[in-house]
Homo-oligomer: A and B are copies of this chain.
Amino acid sequence: MSNNHNQIDNVSLIPLGGVGEIGKNMMVVEVEDEILIVDAGIMFPEDDLLGIDLVIPDITYLKKNQERIKGIVLTHGHLDHIGALPYILKEINVPVYGTKLTLGLLRGKLKEHGVLSDSYLKHVYPGHSVEIGQNFNVEFIRVNHSIADACALAIHTPAGVLVYASDFKFDQTPTNGQMADIHRLAELGDEGVLALFSDSTNAERPGYTMSEKVVGESIDEIFSNARGRIIVASFASNIDRIQQFIDSAFENNRKIAVTGRSMINNVHIAKELGYLNIPDGMLVDMQDLSGLNDDKIVLITTGSQGEPMAALTRMARGDHRHINIQDGDTVVVSARAIPGNERSVGRTINKLLKRGAEVIYESVSGVHVSGHASQEELKLMMNLVQPKFFVPVHGEYRHLHRHANLAKEVGIPEENIFITEPGNVLEFSNSNGQTAGSVKAGRVLVDGLGVGDVGNIVLRDRRLLSQDGILIVVVTIDKKGKNVAGPDIISRGFVYVRESEALISAATSRVENALEECEENNVTEWSVLKSKIKNALGSFIYHKIKRRPMILPIIMEV
């Protein structure tokens, strides 16, 4: 590394996602002609993105600057930080660096997409560093989060040190015994940090986030009181939480089984890599559960978000292959509903209660704590690192705004705080910080195998179709423009046709009238015909029933 490039005093930062939005976290770091990428996550689509499976960052800028990219570093293994890699590595194949568990989870994803064999993955231990290109020395610093092996990064560049505190919290009593490395953060602060980028998810929450240990105590109490089967749902990536389930099961002399694809995969990966400690003989297959007494069973499952196809949701609906929920079962939902999922989680809880289970969930117990730092921890991070510039990341505008206010409270000058947007270029040097232009950025929608082939027009049509359905009017005309068959009106998602025959037949007359009028006036231009049909039908339907279905005239010529 060229530490003595005294002429290099500038570093540029371009977020391609994760600022002003929750998810698709991705940051581009540029020093001279070299590029380093931090994280490459997906975003789960909001309700208005009808039919979309997931959203990834637009990487047009990276494709254009492909030869300058030296590597991708990952902070932890959550999908909003690694999930876009299967798509991005198909376009830009560069080395990927991360901790062991992060890469283990990534490997699973890459395999699913058939890009694993082409990828170069290199693991780094927390507390260690890696040289990337001429200008980057990236140090992995352990932090606490709702997944093991999460790290903040200290990116040492000729222009100064950047601390990238991705998703984190400070847990003073972590269940895996591994504290965030506050000593190293303090040391960096003493030495001087050019800029801090820090997680804003919980910037609205006062105080401290509770320790994971609190969950352990609740779990212990629930497990020791339960008399029947215990079924626990959690995020499949929360390995420390799963370890707590296993420990509590062991204490209470119960076996464990695992259900749900991502839970099975992650438990397998974490066990292989030594992140889960499961005593011999304790893990049993689902089909062997029937041979055990109810008070010997702990089932660990997916479905904490009420996802329609997840195992717990199936149990609640009564269509899980192996498990029928019954009186005496204790179900623990050990997760928080992600915004937007409240209703599906609520429905699952309602159904489980109706089937006779006791259900323990966040609103009525201590079975979940957040993985993100609250206000006091956010301030602690700033006070440890003492950065010259501060950039709140990972949050909607209101979170970034609140986080910026916290920064002012601890004494960072307002002009050194930057609330930014995807694509904006931030330029930092020891003497100056500024926004310097922007590059193309945005969202790319993934729907099935299609990446980027669904855009605003398709979404607008889906929205229209979802509201009032569609009316299709087919007319066949001959070469002279004479109507020889139809008009036929076919509807979908509009009304029960059988109960609305009168409406449809009146509508058909309207179209016939419109067509006759066109014939009388010698209108033969198809586009005019279509718009006449559309207008006649649209205004009639709206007048009659106050709905605006999509109206699609089709003209066939024979």
Contacts and interface: CB of A to CB of B under 8 A. Distances in A.
Interface of A: 20, 46-47, 50-51, 204, 339-340, 342-343, 346, 349-351, 353-354, 359, 363-364, 396-398, 401-402, 447-450, 453-455, 457-459, 461-470, 472, 474, 476, 478, 484-486, 488, 490, 492-496, 499-500, 544-547, 550, 552, 554, 556-558
Contacts of A484: 558
A223 to B, nearest CB: 21
A469 B474 contact: no
A494 B552 CA distance: 15
14 contacts: A20-B350, A340-B342, A353-B397, A353-B401, A450-B495, A454-B495, A458-B496, A462-B467, A474-B554, A476-B556, A478-B558, A486-B556, A488-B556, A556-B556
B468 A470 contact: no
B398 A558 contact: no
Contacts of A449: 544-547
Contacts of A478: 558
Given A339-B346, A364-B402, 17 more contacts: A204-B363, A204-B364, A339-B342, A340-B342, A353-B398, A447-B468, A448-B468, A453-B495, A453-B499, A455-B496, A462-B493, A465-B470, A465-B493, A472-B472, A474-B554, A484-B558, A485-B558
Given A204-B364, A353-B401, A51 B455 contact: no
Most buried by B among A343, A447, A458, A493: A493
A455 B493 CA distance: 9
| Chain copies in the assembled complex | 2
Contacts of A459: 493
Given A469-B51, A469-B458, A476-B558, A346 B398 contact: yes
The 4 nearest A-B residue pairs measured at CB:
A466-B466, A448-B546, A465-B465, A461-B493
Contacts of A340: 342-343
A492 B455 contact: no
Contacts of A546: 448-450
A445 to B, nearest CB: 11
Nearest to A359: B398
A20 B353 CA distance: 12
A350 B468 contact: no
A554 B488 contact: yes
Contact of A51 (B351, B468, B490): B468
Contacts of A493: 50-51, 458-459, 461-462, 464-465
Nearest to A548: B448
A228 to B, nearest CB: 18
A490 B455 CA distance: 17
A554 B342 CA distance: 41
Contact of A398 (B350, B474, B545): B350
A108 to B, nearest CB: 20
Given A447-B547, A476-B476, A554-B490, A470 B467 contact: no
B350 A343 contact: no
B450 A545 contact: yes
Contacts of A349: 398
Nearest to A421: B354
Contacts of A485: 476, 556-558
Contacts of A204: 363-364
Contacts of A51: 466-469, 493, 547
Contacts of A474: 474, 554, 556
Contacts of A346: 339, 396, 398
Nearest to A465: B465
Nearest to A206: B364
B343 A339 contact: yes
A545 to B, nearest CB: 5
A450 B493 CA distance: 13
Contacts of A488: 554, 556
A97 B70 CA distance: 75
A307 B313 CA distance: 30
A204 B463 CA distance: 36
Contacts of A466: 50-51, 462-463, 465-466
A469 B461 contact: yes
A425 to B, nearest CB: 19
A354 B20 CA distance: 10
Contacts of A500: 453
Contacts of A476: 476, 485, 556, 558
